[in-house]
Structure 1
């Protein structure tokens, strides 16, 4: 089992239950509220979140094959709670960015150590509609 998978399991079983309720209040963190694809069960997943213009960028340190990522993609969006605010996010796009250029330097180092190069960009549901392309996204 890779270090990323072991860390994901540790976080799911222990850390998220202890720190999960307080993380969304901290800068750079939030909680994604989503529903299971098959069960319809509601879930709350702590995430690292950053802004890139009008887009919200979520780091995917365990990769895009995580269940919560699949749930958000299948639903076409999610609710995000960060710094005491809630926002509905839509049009999820997963992309790879080896340079991690969207991420503030403070956390770039940790994501590099984890080998995290995948991210998800979403726009607020109430944002002005139009063609949007994220800087790390290829055409």
Structure 2
């Protein structure tokens, strides 16, 4: 029960407070998916790391995250890194150890994901450019 309330509070805070503010930062990393119902672009601030032509990150709510559901419906995404957009294809990587993956990602975001996440899931985006 406590985890459920924490998840609901975290989702509410992110959607209504943190994400709108963070999306305005031109250097904030963003994931853009296509809404599975609306067909409209959906932009989510997140942390992760580019390794060659791949971008890795961890979803704190796994397949319950709206952007993960959007990826499942359409894996074509865009990622904004340092103010520049990159197109790619997202892949859910359930066999990857998300806690270990977080150790290689930026510590500020990783702390939040570890603290509030209840269903961690690694995601890799194969970048076109």
Structure 2 length as normaliser, TM-score? 0.77
What is the aligned length? 122
**Alignment check: 8 A CA contact 1:78 1:88 kept:** yes
State the match for 2:10 in structure 1: 7
State the match for 1:16 in structure 2: 19
Alignment of 1:104 with 2:105, yes or no, is yes
State the match for 1:131 in structure 2: none
Give 3-state SS (helix, strand or coil) of 2:64's partner.
coil
Q: Which runs of 5+ in 2 are unaligned?
A: none
> Which digits, 9 at most, give the CA deviation of each residue in 1:43-100, with x for residues without a partner?
1111112124432112202222211111122212201112011100114223252532
More helix by share: 2
Q: How far off is 1:5 after superposition?
A: 2.9
Q: Relative CO higher for 1 or 2, CA cutoff 8 Å, sep ≥ 6?
A: 2
2: CA distance between counterparts of 1:18 and 1:105?
19
| CA gap 1:61/1:99 in 2 versus in 1, 3 angstroms | closer
**Alignment check: 8 A CA contact 1:91 1:123 kept:** yes
Give 3-state SS (helix, strand or coil) of 2:68's partner.
helix
Of 115-124 and 10-19, deviating more is 115-124
Q: Which runs of 5+ in 1 are unaligned?
A: 127-139
